Chains A and B, each alone.
Chain A
Amino acid sequence: MKNILSKLSLNQKLGLIAILLGLIALVAGNPFDSNEVKVNIKDIALSTVKNSDKIKPETLAEWLIEGKSDFVLIDLRNPEEFEKYTLPEAENIPLVTLPEAELYRNQKLILFADDNLRAAQGWYILKSKGFKNVYILDGGLEGWKNNVLFPRLSSNPTKEELSQFEKKKAIAKYFGGQALTDSGKVETKPEISLPASSSQQKTAGAPQPKKKKREGC
């Protein structure tokens, strides 16, 4: 064998190496994500410790008002629920389709549903695929309603709570909600679904607005 190998010219050796690499490619698998993944459960468990995987509704509200665009909001509910009401600029990816969704690893992904359950399930799915920047909207839409849309002022507010409440009132108004002073039972579903929810929303990916960032040749 050694004799044959040494008799080959450089070019022939190169050709042989190429064919070898090609043969290995036959069994090496798919470079794109597949449905079977290797999960590092320790890592996943650890990332829940510091609560760094959650986002509070108030924080999200601030980000939206500030106009931050370095994240993607994903509504994991089904399309009918999404149409009725959703968060501004949210994308609808029903939980069951999450594994095949076109998501980029270099984006911040914030998952939400009615409460934390579905969001946590989605979170686990994405973490298993190796996504690093996945977050759960703490409390989901319920949390959003209670903390942002219809913030409640307690019956005996401290001075600090009072001043904070002013800010919450403004935020609530911005999103079409309304601050409540005390018992106000909120039964009326907020019809204020920002029409923006169903529209475009391809902010996914390159945050740069169309600034002629052609990557072509």
Chain B
Amino acid sequence: MTSLAKKISELFTKDIEIVEVKPKPYSNPYLTGIGLGLVLLLSFVIMGRGLGASGAMSSLVAFGVQTISPEHATSNEFYKEYIGDGTTNPLKDWLVFEVLGVLVGGFVSGALAGRIKKRVEKGPKISKSKRLLFAFLGGSMMGFGAKLARGCTSGQALTGGALLNLGSWIFMIMVFAGGYAFAYFMRRQWL
């Protein structure tokens, strides 16, 4: 009886090994970059504008503030820009739809490569909760900085960079500068 049970359990464990999808390695970065550049070019040719991401988040915030307190939203210059004259939903925005696409595209690519996994990305020397805290902190700094700079790496660095926009290049250089300068202080989180 036990040998039979053993045989059966072996069968199952074998299957599990095979079924576990090994995540594939990432693609050649240069080719990926060229692909990304072509997507950007397509956006220029079709829409006359580039990509972006932080703008969609801003629309979301504006929408949220407007829903919770319309008077507060309209009294503030910043939110007003996203709400306009109140006739269109701030979420009916090119960038919002584009970011929704990013969600889908990212998911599809990850699924095809076996990289979908609930996880917390972090270095070996830091705890999960600390990492989550840093993620939130980093995100807020990024949100604030992106608004100051009128864009983020997708909008300013990529789009503006390709168009040789002076402000975008200044921005891009400062992003790298900031990252490298501060990397030392964050080494325990990543290394």
**A and B touching (Cβ–Cβ under 8 A):** yes
Interface residues of A (CB under 8 A from B): 10-11, 14, 210-217
Interface of A is mostly: loop
Residues in chain A near residue B93, CB distance under 8 A: 214
B78 to chain A, nearest CB (A): 12
Question: Does the CB pair B28–A214 fall under 8 Å?
Answer: no
A11-B30, A14-B34 given; A217·B51 CB < 8 A:
yes
Q: Is B150 an interface residue (CB 8 A)?
A: yes
B residues at A contact (CB < 8 Å):
28, 30-31, 34, 49-55, 81-85, 87-88, 90, 93-95, 150-152, 154-156, 159
Determine how close the nearest CB of chain A comes to the CB of B131; give it in whole angstroms.
28
A214: chain B residues within 8 A (beta carbon): 55, 81-82, 93
What chain B residues lie within 8 Å of A215 (beta carbons)?
A: 49, 94
Query: Which of A10, A14, A210 is B85 in contact with, Cβ under 8 Å?
Result: A210
Q: Which of A11, A210, A211, A217 makes the CB contact (< 8 A) with B156?
A: A217
Report yes or no: A216 in contact with B151, Cβ–Cβ below 8 A. yes
Does A212 lie within 8 Å of B54, measured CB to CB?
no
Across the interface, A212 reaches (CB within 8 A) one of B50, B51, B90, B159, namely B90
Distance A214 CA – B79 CA, assembled complex (angstroms) = 12
Measured in the bound complex, the distance between the Cα atoms of B152 and A210 in whole Å is 24
Q: A217's contact among B34, B53, B85, by CB below 8 Å, is which?
A: B53
Q: Is the CB of B28 within 8 A of A217?
A: no
Is the pair B152, A217 in contact by a Cβ cutoff of 8 Å? Answer: yes
Nearest-neighbor residue (CB-CB) of B155 within chain A: A217
Nearest CB of chain B from residue A33's CB, rounded to whole Å = 17
Contacts of B155 in A (CB 8 A): 216-217
- Complex Cα distance, B94 from A214, in Å, reads 9
26 contacts between A and B (CB under 8 A): A10-B28, A11-B28, A11-B30, A211-B84, A211-B87, A211-B88, A212-B81, A212-B84, A212-B85, A212-B90, A213-B84, A214-B81, A215-B94, A216-B55, A216-B150, A216-B151, A216-B155, A217-B50, A217-B52, A217-B53, A217-B54, A217-B55, A217-B95, A217-B150, A217-B156, A217-B159
